[in-house]
Amino acid sequence: MKNQELAQIFYQISFFLQMEGDKFRPIAYEKAAITLEGLEEDVEEIYKKGGKEALEKIPGVGKSIAEKIEEYLKTGKIKYHEEYKKKYPLNLEELMGIEGLGPKRIRVLYEKLKIKNLKELEKACLAHKIAPLFGFGEKTEKNILEAIEFAKRSKGRFLLGDILPKVKEVYEKLKSLKEVERVDAVGSIRRMKETIGDVDFLVISKNPAKVMDFFTSLPGIVKIWGKGTTKSSVRLREGFDMDIRVLPKRSYGAALQYFTGSKEHNIALRKIAIEKGLKLSEYGLFKGPKMIAGESEEEIYQKLGLDWIAPELREDRGEIEAALNHKLPKIIDYKEIKGDLHCHSKWDGGANTIEEIAKQAMKMGYEYVGIADHTKFLKIEHGLDEKKLKERNKEIDRINSKFKIQNPKFKILKGCEANILPDGSIDIDDECLKEQDFVIAGVHSRFKMSKEEMTERIIRAMKNPHVDIISHPTGRLIQKRDEYEIDLDKILRVAKETGTVLEINSYPERLDLNDINIKKAKEMGVKMVINTDAHHIDQMRFIEFGIAQARRGWAEKKDIVNCWPLETLLKYLKK
Ligand code: DGT
Ligand code: CA
Ligand code: CA
């Protein structure tokens, strides 16, 4: 579908014309661009069916623009656009995104300083070449520099955990709108991918104009990229973009399927449709001209001979074949966790008391919660030594007996997150480890070791009979730090042999193990635990992100030890 490409070209023509001070033509091109962006039908189809005359019937498309669309469909280029690109060889995608830099200023910057892209712009700012230009000044230069930083940041992807609360807020607002019959967040958000490029909403509404007005005037919007009759796109102060599309009810399921993605999943699915002599698009599943499914996502999968596939699995990693053979995993549910085994209390410098953590856990419907304070090696984290751990355990006993009356089913478990020292030994003596209900061990120092050394280090810890769980096994921090050099296959084998549980750390920037490694672990029969690593009770909600990754890694109840009742869990840990 060429609609979007054409829209981008028309936005650029509009921009070039504005650079030259044209007053009216830019508006016409921008209008056409917005229409094309929101157009449901494929502009190429329209042209094939009705030629140039049909194009002219598209709102906002006149004779001259229709000719240019025709030219693009025939040659893949528009001469008018190409000539402007030659005249102004600028990276418009970059420069148009800078707040406070309009077409006129961009022209001055190009003509006076030969600035063509973001990098050159930044260099000029840092060399203070912008301020002396007529009509710019110190303040403008500073603002541009800030905008560059912002653009650089927002160019990347965003952590799911940072974005999801805001998405839910917008979702709730849209849902409460009386013009909205149904709303869904789709794309990578619905698949709960660890990072998000942009947020996509789909809506059913009899009054799309109202929905567009509402959406584009939400608080916190810093830029409206486009506002059409059925599609709009905005940027939020936080730096990420949100799209919305209003769809007819009859093809909502098809759109839900298409815009949930992933692209790879969709391509594989479309292939199956073709093999069956069908055509699948965001408008529906078609047999010839007849739509045979479209209103619900389930019927689309069903008509293709597949079981419905949970969004988290839609990455073309074998889910389609499994759905064809009715062998999809019964992945864990968001409500299936019975307890969090990795909470830091005030004892090691966390924000909350054990009692507060326990109360929060009960509020979340858990049957148990594990306190896993840091141990002595980690001095900056106020790690506890053997004596302190003993004292802390006394407090846990005391609180447990207090709660027993209120909630006999609930239990606080005694644990620690001990350190795996560079040689693979643990920084707390065995006697003390034995007294804990569970022991987590993790690498918190000397991250840069050779692959062999690091692998051996972790393996030695797993072979310690008191170590039950390895926390954040690969050590990666999303967008900050790579995994340690480790031989994960070897670690998984030893985990299986020793019955060591590997953690799925839910912290938004950790998500460690990640989805792919979770699937690997599951296939090898390694057990995992979904923990939050919360240092504050508010962070106990992070569990959702860990569960999401576990689902993306095909994990079932049998794979995740904290989906099990307390008794089963404790019996397993003692092994
Ligand atoms: P993101 O935004 O980078 O985190 O990832 P997505 O998956 O949300 O991607 P996005 O926003 O570009 O598009 C949303 C969905 O629309 C995507 O998951 C699948 C569908 N889609 C977008 N472009 C294409 C395409 O060229 N081909 C196919 N088959 N599907 C596409
Ligand atoms: Ca997206
Ligand atoms: Ca998108």
pLDDT tens across 477-495, in order?
887 777 899 999 999 999 9
* Percent of the chain residues past pLDDT 70, beyond the cut: 98
pLDDT of residue 53: 95
**Confidence (pLDDT) at 234:** 95
Give the gyration radius of the chain's Cα atoms. 28
**pLDDT at site 19:** 96
Peptide bond into 513 cis (omega under 30): yes
Q: Which residue has the tokens 């240092």?
A: 535
Query: 200: Cβ below 6 Å to ligand 1?
Result: yes
Distance 190 CA to ligand 2 centre (A): 9
The DSSP secondary-structure symbol of 512 reads B
**pLDDT above 90 for 381:** no
Specify the residue for token string 């802390």: 392
As a whole number of angstroms, the distance between CA 416 and CA 441 comes to 8
- Mean predicted confidence (pLDDT) in 437-454: 93
Cα distances from 132 to residues 113, 136, 137, 170, 288, in angstroms, run 12, 7, 6, 43, 65
**pLDDT, position 380:** 64
Higher pLDDT, 376 or 249: 249
Mutate to test the pocket of ligand 1, among 259, 283, 300, 478 (most ligand atoms within 8 A of CB): 259
Mean pLDDT on 435-442:
96
Element (H, E) at 74: helix 63-75
**259 C-beta closer than 6 A to ligand 1:** yes
Does the Cβ of 266 fall within 6 Å of ligand 1?
yes
Tokens of 70: 């025709």
pLDDT range class, residue 35, cuts 50, 70, 90: confident
The structural domains of the chain, ordered by start, are: 3-154 (1.10.150.110), 158-246 (3.30.460.10), 258-324 (3.30.210.10), 339-573 (3.20.20.140)
Q: How far is the CA of 260 from the centre of ligand 2 (A)?
A: 8
CA of 177 from ligand 3 middle (Å) equals 22
Residue-level pLDDT at 376: 87
Q: Is 330 in the pocket of ligand 1 (CB under 6 A)?
A: no
What distance in Å separates the CA atoms of residue 289 and residue 268, rounded to the nearest whole number?
22
Nearest CA to ligand 1 atom 8: 187
Ligand 1, atom nearest to 198 Cα: 2
Q: How far apart are the CA of 156 and the centre of ligand 2, in A? A: 13
Say yes or no: CB of residue 261 within 6 Å of ligand 1: yes
Residue with tokens 């007849």: 290
Residue 153's pLDDT is what? Answer: 64
Q: What was the pLDDT predicted at 494?
A: 97
Looking only at the bridges linking them, the beta strands covering 411-419 and 368-374 are parallel
Q: How many C-beta atoms lie closer than 10 Å to residue 277's C-beta? A: 8
188 CB within 6 A, ligand 1: yes
195-196 and 158-159: which strand pairing? Answer: antiparallel
pLDDT at 239 (0 to 100): 79
Check: CB of residue 245 under 8 Å from CB of residue 203.
Answer: yes
Per residue in 406-429, pLDDT tens? 888 899 999 999 999 999 999 999
Taking alpha carbons only, the member of 296, 295, 300, 299 closest to residue 269 is 300
CB atoms under 10 Å from CB of 45, counted, come to 11
Contact of 461 with 467, CB cutoff 8 Å: yes
Q: What is the mean pLDDT of residues 353-363?
A: 96
CA distance 510 to 113: 43
Ligand 2: distance of its center to the CA of 187 in Å? 5
pLDDT-derived band at 318, boundaries 50, 70, 90: very high
Q: Whose CA is nearest to atom 21 of ligand 1?
A: 263
Instruction: Report the chain's mean pLDDT, rounded to a whole number.
Output: 93
Model pLDDT, residue 403: 87
Residue 520 · residue 492 · CB < 8 Å:
yes
pLDDT tens for 501-517 read 999 999 999 999 999 99
Cα 459 to Cα 249: distance, rounded to the nearest angstrom? 55
Whether the pTM exceeds 0.85: the reply is no
Expressed in angstroms and rounded, the spacing between residue 324 Cα and the centre of ligand 2 is 27
Count of residues making up the chain: 575
3-state secondary structure 252-285: HHHHHHHHHCCHHHHHHHHHHHHHCCCEEECCEE
Protein residue with its CA nearest to atom 9 in ligand 1: 187
**What is the residue with the minimal CA distance to atom 24 of ligand 1?**
263
Say how many CA atoms lie within 13 Å of 67 toward its Cβ: 5
Q: What's the rounded mean pLDDT across residues 155-161?
A: 84
Each residue's pLDDT tens digit, 165-213:
999 999 999 999 999 999 999 999 999 999 999 999 999 999 999 999 9
Q: Which atom of ligand 1 is nearest to the CA of 270?
A: 29
Spacing of C-alpha 43 from chain mean position: 31
pLDDT at 38 over 70: no
Cα 464 from chain centroid? 36
- Residue with the smallest CA separation from ligand 1 atom 26 is 263
User: Ligand 1 pocket test: which of 155, 160, 188 has the largest number of ligand atoms within 8 Å of its C-beta?
Assistant: 188
pLDDT of residue 575: 59
Which atom of ligand 1 lies nearest, measured to the CA of 200? 11
Distance CA 11, CA 31 (A): 9
Q: Rounded to 5 degrees, what are φ and ψ at 339? A: 180, 155
Atom of ligand 1 nearest to the CA of 188: 8
Confidence of residue 41 (pLDDT cuts 50, 70, 90): confident
Closest CA to 509 of 540, 481, 550: 481
Res 104 pLDDT > 90:
yes
Dump pLDDT digits (tens) for 522-568.
999 999 999 999 999 989 999 999 999 999 999 999 999 999 999 99
**Nearest ligand, CA 37:** 3
pLDDT-wise least confident of 4-8, 89-93, 136-140, 154-158: 154-158
What is the pairing mode between strands 284-287 and 290-293? antiparallel
H/E stretch holding 93 reads: helix 92-95
Say whether the peptide bond before residue 262 is cis (omega within 30 degrees of 0): yes
d(CA 105, CA 113): 11
The pLDDT of residue 154 is above 70: no
Which pair of structure tokens corresponds to residue 421?
Answer: 């020292």
